[in-house]
Amino acid sequence: MANGSSHVVIVGGGFAGLACARKLATSADVRVTLVDKNNYHQFQPLLYQLATSELSTSDVATSLRQCLRGHGNVDVKMLEVTAVDPKTRTVTTREGESYQGDFLVLAAGSQANYFGTVGAEENAFPLYSLEDAQRLRSRILAVFEDADCDPKLVDQGALNFVIIGGGPTGTEMAGALADMVNFTMRAEYPDLAVKYARVYLIDHGHTLLGAFPAKAHDYAAQTLQQKGVQLRLDIGVKEVAPDHVLLSNGTLIQTRTAVWAGGLTASPLAANTSLPLGHGGRIAVKPDLTVEGFPGVYVLGDFGNIPGPDNQALPQLGSVAQQCGEWAAENILSEAAGRPRIPFQYNDKGIMAMIGRDSAVAAIGNKRHELDGPIAFAAWLGVHALLMSGVRERIEAFIDWGWNYFGRFRPTQVLDRSDESRIHWQDGTDGER
């Protein structure tokens, strides 16, 4: 452990925490302890690619030690933080270790917000963590394998996939899953009536991709419909059961694979910080990324409501998290040197979403210049390559993947044995199989 005048404790190795640690790593004035319950950084925007077997685990996750290698003043600890005392800037972990810092950076991220939907937490697959994506991947592969051996399961909805939420995650997942069904699965299961597979995308709003310009709404809807995705807009979800999803209009869709892309709330640690919570259960953050009344405490990314230009909270995006991570590091170095903190200014480079193999929508810059089609896909590829964690090999793998994507190449659908692959199928009336 290198010595430094100030000790910074960072909770969470996502976009925000990692960016903050990296920036601080270049300064000899601080030493950093980064605490995360996992030993890896996950590339959250591509988890749906892992779920659809397009990318493998090592493409979307990098060990935190490797991300921070060569920096003697940064220490990674794989521990789960369960409570925070913001007065003393001390974190306590499930394992019993505790860490106290001159500065405390809270960047513990989000989890799915089920908004009280009956059965959703128990039965739907969220898509926020690496484990979420691996579980969903196992389930998707398992329903195909099971239906291939017992075609009656198709009548029980084995090949129906219901995606709840038409934001970027739900839209991207629907496009990738439709492509997986139409190209890969149709070729690999010649015995199976893959033509009966259905991908449903449900949203209670009137359009997909609400945060995008109107033209993107229509482009996304048309592209998905061309891929065979069944759009159900202006409709809510009443219940998610092990074998069906019940919609607000009374429609019941049989499925073993309901994907929850319906919203995020701060991770449960937020409630154990004794800090004031706002919208989405997220901590209220001052413009300089600190918390009122608790000197030296910073809150970053999805874990807080980060103030934007007109004092509206910024959206939960990787680019917001990454930028405020770097900004917080600068403010910490300023504080440590006796200089004032500066209010965070988000440099809005735009938003984009990919819709299957060769289509994407993008709204570039804060003026929202619109792009769609293959050129938007290329932009999407480039931006994500830049966002990735700076490990050269990962970026090369990703760009390789992007080009292969055009060429209809697929990585392997290897089904690891897991709980998700052991589905309890109800017997039909004959009970013979």
Q: Which residues bind a copy of itself (CB under 8 A)?
A: 1, 38-40, 56-58, 61-63, 65-66, 69, 72, 75, 77-79, 95-97, 130-131, 134, 141, 145, 148-150, 187-191, 393, 409-417, 433
Is beta strand 252-254 parallel, antiparallel or unpaired with respect to 244-247?
A: antiparallel
List, by residue number, the catalytic residues.
172
Q: How far is the CB of 261 from a copy of itself (least distance, A)?
A: 22
Q: Which is nearer to a copy of itself, 29 or 393 (CB)?
A: 393
Q: Which is nearer to a copy of itself, 149 or 337 (CB)?
A: 149
SS3 state at 230:
strand
Q: Which is nearer to a copy of itself, 56 or 230 (CB)?
A: 56
Q: How far apart are CA 321 and CA 330, in angstroms?
A: 14
The 10 Å Cβ neighbour count of residue 173 is 25
Whether the CB-CB separation of 273 and 279 falls below 8 Å is answered with no
Q: How far is the CB of 187 from a copy of itself (least distance, A)?
A: 7
Q: How far is the CB of 416 from a copy of itself (least distance, A)?
A: 7
Q: Which is nearer to a copy of itself, 367 or 424 (CB)?
A: 424
| Contacts made by residues 218-226, CB under 8 angstroms, sequence distance 24+ | 219/355, 219/359, 219/361, 219/372, 219/373, 220/171, 220/353, 220/355, 220/361, 223/175, 223/355, 223/356, 223/359, 224/171, 224/174, 224/175, 224/178, 224/355, 224/356
Cα 418-65-330 angle, rounded to 5 deg: 125
Q: Which is nearer to a copy of itself, 137 or 244 (CB)?
A: 137
Q: How far is the CB of 241 from a copy of itself (least distance, A)?
A: 24
The burial class, CB within 10 Å (0-12 / 13-18 / 19+), for 96 is exposed
Whether the CB-CB separation of 132 and 47 falls below 8 Å is answered with yes
Q: How far is the CB of 183 from a copy of itself (least distance, A)?
A: 12
